């Protein structure tokens, strides 16, 4: 089994190192000091489950790899439409794309029976640009549960979790998902093949759509948001609205809001990925996590007033951050007394 990891960051390098340890032929695509460290010393994983070093092939040029069986996308979802030149050398007719993204995937309505089958979600597939690069037929959905960070170039700190749930957009259990699951299990990961992965997507999204934007707006950690009574209620409202939208498009995730809150509170003083990106000056992953959910509310007729309000505030935050927090000098002048 030949696998390429496009975007071998904290999650991608951890996943690739695990599969290489399990016997798969893994090729990491990275850059800069991280790539140089991996080439020199391999990927060093520091984990409460036991440290290990894996030495997969590493490059910054996908054409050196050629066609593979699976491409694991470790990129942020907003980078997908412009990844054509990177993925093209990795594809043959049967190559599958494992989309390990947060939020709503571009393939969401692909082969989903019902009134919205084949509907495009502009927030994650603008004018079909993502589908042009990553045809939905290639997609294997993936919900990522582990928490990892790059501690130093080539060094991945695994904090918790080993589960990567996967599934076909069309549902059922396919041979390609079964083979990939077996490879992940051989590498020490949990990899259930879910016949209805969309329910898993919504379970994780319940937290992402609430905690990510609120943390970016308030700079608070997950436990601080949970323990403040007003933001806890705000999270509850966002989760209620998200479950309503999920139901309208045919998903009924089997988890209570209170259980989801307890799980988030148990994480402790953890900064969400959106807050980390904001502090690092990176583009916020807003489109897949929040904007797409608002679009699905529009499609399905859901009111979602709290979600729309939080989205508006976070969208402005993202625009200002992208512009480098530039403010017209005249706006800073005090009004005359």
Catalytic positions: 204
Asked if 269 and 221 count as a contact pair (C-beta separation under 8 A), the reply is yes
Measure the CA–CA gap between 78 and 242, rounded to whole angstroms.
21
* Three-state DSSP state, 194: coil
Determine how β-strand 25-29 pairs with β-strand 57-59: parallel
Asked if 231 and 182 count as a contact pair (C-beta separation under 8 A), the reply is no
Asked if 235 and 210 count as a contact pair (C-beta separation under 8 A), the reply is yes
**Residue 28 phi/psi, 5° resolution?**
-95, 140
Sign of CA dihedral 231, 232, 234, 235: positive
β-bridge mates for residue 4, sequence order: 27, 71
Q: State the residue for tokens 């390429």.
A: 4
């Amino acid at each position: 089994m030949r696998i390429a990891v496009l975007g071998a960051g904290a999650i991608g390098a951890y996943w690739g190192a695990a599969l290489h340890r399990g016997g798969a032929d893994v090729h990491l695509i990275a850059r800069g000091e991280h790539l140089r460290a991996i080439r020199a010393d391999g990927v060093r994983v520091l984990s409460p489950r036991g440290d290990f070093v894996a030495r997969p092939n590493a490059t910054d040029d996908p054409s050196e790899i050629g066609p593979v069986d699976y491409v694991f996308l470790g990129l942020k979802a907003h980078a997908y439409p412009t990844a054509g030149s990177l993925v093209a050398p990795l594809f043959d007719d049967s190559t599958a794309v494992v989309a390990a993204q947060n939020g709503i995937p571009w393939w969401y309505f692909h082969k989903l029976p019902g009134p919205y089958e084949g509907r495009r979600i502009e927030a994650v597939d603008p004018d079909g640009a993502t589908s042009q690069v990553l045809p939905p037929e290639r997609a294997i959905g993936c919900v990522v549960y582990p928490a990892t960070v790059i501690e130093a170039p080539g060094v991945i700190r695994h904090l918790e979790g080993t589960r990567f749930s996967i599934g076909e957009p069309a549902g059922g259990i396919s041979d390609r998902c079964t083979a990939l699951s077996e490879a992940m299990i051989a590498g020490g990961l949990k990899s259930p093949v879910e016949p209805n992965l969309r329910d898993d997507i919504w379970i994780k999204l319940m937290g992402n759509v609430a905690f990510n934007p609120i943390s970016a707006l308030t700079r608070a950690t997950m436990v601080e948001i949970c323990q403040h009574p007003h933001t806890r209620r705000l999270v509850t409202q966002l989760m209620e609205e998200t479950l309503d939208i999920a139901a309208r498009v045919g998903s009924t995730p089997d988890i209570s809001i209170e259980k989801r809150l307890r799980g988030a509170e148990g994480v402790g003083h953890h900064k969400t990925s959106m807050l980390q990106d904001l502090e690092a000056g990176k583009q916020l992953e807003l489109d897949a996590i929040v904007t797409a959910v608002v679009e699905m509310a529009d499609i399905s007729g859901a009111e979602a007033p709290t979600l729309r309000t939080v989205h508006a505030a976070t969208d402005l935050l993202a625009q200002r951050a992208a512009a480098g927090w530039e403010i017209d000098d005249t706006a800073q002048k005090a009004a005359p007394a």
